[in-house]
Structure 1
Amino acid sequence: MAALVLMPSHAGAQPLPGINLTIQPTDDPEQVVDTVKLLLLLTLLSLIPAFLMMLTSFTRIIVVLAFLRQGLGTQHNPPNQVIIGLALFLTVFIMMPVFTQINDQALQPFLANEINQEQAAELAAQPLKDFMSKQTREKDLELFVNLSAMERPNNIDDVPLSVLVPAFIISELKTAFLIGFLIFVPFLVIDMVVASTLMSMGMFMLPPIMISLPFKILLFVMVDGWYLVVKSLVESFRF
């Protein structure tokens, strides 16, 4: 016969830890400064995705890679995670000189208490302005300068980021669509040849994409397509 042992409900109770948040005065101003710096860094970390997409080469790269996958007709291959990861690392590779300048000119002096927040923001914006101005068309920049009703700037230093960033974005989108069009052309030729061949043979019920897809993949592999696309993307940001 099995014996049933009942344990008391109050046995072995463990006390719960208490949490006490207090704000105490301090005689060391550096503690307050370090706390403010930590808060600013956490705020910047929350804005990194927006900065990465809008102020770097990420937009052009991800749009071109999406056009490439659509031109190949491989649906979900490569998957979105692979395309985003490739675009992210290519962005870091291209933007590394800019990130290095920001770190040397703005971030490190700010952390060392050599400059204040306003000076750090101005010094950090300068390398980004130099990069974006080289990729922005004058027509697009002029559009937002006129829309903002600001005085005509003498140089790029007089253009605020609120005007330069949207001009840079639409310039990047136009460049990405032009590159995507050039990528689409050879794949479109293959689709047209396969479709016309199937129609001449009377195979109306056979989808042309089923026949053209292996030929497009074969052509892309034979010409080392990934090498050419990545090389063209990286070199499009170099002068």
Structure 2
Amino acid sequence: MTRWQALRPVLLTAVLLVLAAPVAQAQPLSLPTFDFVRPAETPQEGLQTMQLLLLLTVLTLAPSIVILCTSFTRIVIVFGFVRTALGLQQSPPNQVLIGLALFLTAAVMMPTFSEVNSVAVQPYLAGEIDQVEAIERGTVPLKEFMLRQTREADLRLMLEVSGQPAPEGPEDVGFLTVVPAFVISELKTAFTMGFLIYLPFIIIDLIVASLMMSLGMMMVPPTLISLPFKVLLFVLVDGWHLVVESLVRSFTG
């Protein structure tokens, strides 16, 4: 193959590009236009936009509301104490514990959610009240639930921190004051229940460790021997049923 035959495809490609350049310049690139973003033409369209923004805001804050304003915190912390007391690292897995905690939270909070739906959500959907009044009505049942589980010392602390005067009644306490006081009380209650759950398993660990030391088995980890006994004890007493029953009764009692 001669040198000219080897360069001929390259030269033909260059000539085609030169000939096509004017055609490409004569047809400018057209960009797609987006006409779905436009100003509202009627007050109803503006109201719908504000409702959509409010809905997105509520959905963004929904995880925080579920964690901090419901029974979820106490339940999931106690479940974590149970797993740690048994000496199990990943059994049950986190997904199972969190899923069970969510369903138990829904069961415990069902009366409160039903009241919120009847006094706030349904009147708002029927057009009887506006958004501001719906939020004010909806927070009342939730605040009453939190105040029933909040200690006076924690509530007094948050009132002092926020600089608010002593309220005359529960309706005078601000929602932003109730939430941190409720969370502190829930942490104390959950840690108290977790400590009581720990006690029998600590006794088993101490007994097993003492027996192994008396037998001269110094190289074997005590947890390796005590773990089956702790699991067996937990299964024999139907531990999960007792834990769940105690958690549910702690909110209703």
TM-score of the superposed pair, with normalisation by structure 2: 0.84
Give the whole-Å Cα distance in 2 for the aligned partners of 1:45 and 1:132: 21
Alignment correspondent of 1:21: 36
Root-mean-square deviation over aligned CA pairs: 1.6
Give the whole-Å Cα distance in 1 for the aligned partners of 2:178 and 2:109: 18
Give the whole-Å Cα distance in 2 for the aligned partners of 1:49 and 1:88: 11
1:41 CA drift (Å) = 1.2
SS at match of 2:252: coil
Q: Name stretches of at least 5 consecutive residues in structure 2 with no aligned partner.
A: 1-29
Which among 84, 90, 105 is matched to residue 76 of structure 1?
90
Give the whole-Å Cα distance in 1 for the aligned partners of 2:46 and 2:132: 18
Which among 135, 155, 173 is matched to residue 169 of structure 2?
155
Amino acid at match of 2:78: V
Amino acid at match of 2:113: F
Query: Whose Rg is larger?
Result: 2
1:19 CA drift (Å) = 3.8
Give the whole-Å Cα distance in 2 for the aligned partners of 1:71 and 1:130: 33
Determine which structure has the larger helix proportion and give its number.
Answer: 2
Alignment correspondent of 1:231: 245
Amino acid at match of 1:36: M
Give the whole-Å Cα distance in 1 for the aligned partners of 2:245 and 2:32: 57
Within-5 A mapping of 1:46-125: 46-125=60-139
CA distances 1:133-155 after superposition (whole Å, capped 9, x unpaired): 00000111111112222111001
Question: How many matched pairs?
Answer: 224
CA contact (8 A) 2:205 2:223 kept: yes
Give the whole-Å Cα distance in 1 for the aligned partners of 2:107 and 2:38: 43
Alignment correspondent of 2:216: 202
Alignment correspondent of 1:130: 144
1:102 CA drift (Å) = 1.1
Amino acid at match of 1:115: I
Amino acid at match of 1:20: D
Give the whole-Å Cα distance in 2 for the aligned partners of 1:196 and 1:25: 77
Give the whole-Å Cα distance in 2 for the aligned partners of 1:194 and 1:21: 71
Which aligned runs of 4 or more in structure 1 are off by greater than 4 angstroms?
A: 15-18
Whether 2:176 is the aligned partner of 1:168: answer no
Structure 1 residues 77 and 116, CA gap change in structure 2 (3 angstroms): same
Farther off after superposition, 72-81 or 140-149: 140-149
